[in-house]
Amino acid sequence: MTAETDDLARLHDRLVARAGEVGLIDLAYRAVDSPLGALLLVATEQGAVRLAFEEEGHDAVLADLAERVSPRILRAPRRLDETARRIEDYLGGRSRSLDVPIDLRLLAGYRREVVEALPRIAYGHTATYTEMAGMTGRPRAVRAVGSACANNPVPLLLPCHRVVRSDGSAGGYRGGLQAKRWLLGLEAAGAPAARERLD
Estimate to the nearest angstrom the gap between the alpha carbon of 148 and the chain centroid.
14
Q: Is 160 designated active site? A: yes
The phi and psi torsions of 92 (rounded to 5 degrees) equal -90, 0
Catalytic residue among 87, 100, 104, 160: 160
Active site residues: 160
